[in-house]
């Protein structure tokens, strides 16, 4: 009997945790996102010529460690690389140079350099 109660309580604990997490996630998704303290961040998108997932992985692993990079999306489907960076620390030329060094083309998408906030 004790064992059954223990099993039940453990299962219920798991379910409770799952339920609480889901509720929090759902509630979070309903609230408007609080904007973070402003930083000087610019977003730029390049079109490139990846041909497989390895290319995607190679670009991700190398670009993410560049100085000033804050966020990165590498899309094999769209053939695009989108970087969010601190314009005080790096710039588009550095990204183009690095992408070319890795063996890929980098053509800036028109109107893609979007500064977001000024600190």
Element (H, E) at 41: strand 41-47
The one segment of 39-47, 64-72, 92-100, 109-117 that binds other proteins by CB under 8 A: 64-72
Contact 89, 100 (CB under 8 A): no
For residues 98 and 50, give the distance between their C-alpha atoms in angstroms, rounded to a whole number: 14
Q: Does 90 bind other proteins (CB under 8 A)?
A: no
Residue 16 interacts with other proteins (CB under 8 A): yes or no: no
Q: Is 52 in the site for other proteins (CB under 8 A)?
A: yes
Q: Is 64 in the site for other proteins (CB under 8 A)?
A: yes
Burial of 59 (0-12, 13-18, 19+ CB in 10 A): buried
d(CA 74, CA 51): 12
Which of 12, 38, 49, 51: binder of other proteins (CB under 8 A)? Answer: 51
77 binds other proteins (CB under 8 A): yes
Q: How far is the CB of 52 from other proteins (least distance, A)?
A: 4
CB closer to other proteins out of 18 and 114? 18
């Amino acid at each position: 009997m004790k064992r059954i109660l223990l099993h039940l309580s453990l299962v219920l604990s798991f379910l409770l945790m799952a339920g609480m997490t889901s509720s929090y996630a759902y509630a979070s998704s309903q609230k408007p996102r609080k904007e973070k303290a402003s930083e000087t961040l610019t977003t730029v998108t390049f079109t490139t010529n990846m041909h497989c997932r390895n290319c995607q992985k190679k670009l991700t692993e190398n670009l993410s460690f560049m100085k000033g990079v804050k966020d990165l999306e590498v899309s094999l489907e769209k053939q695009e690389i989108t970087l969010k960076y601190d314009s005080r620390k790096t710039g588009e030329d550095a990204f183009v140079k690095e992408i070319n060094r890795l063996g890929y083309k980098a053509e800036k998408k028109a109107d893609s350099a979007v500064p977001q906030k000024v600190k």
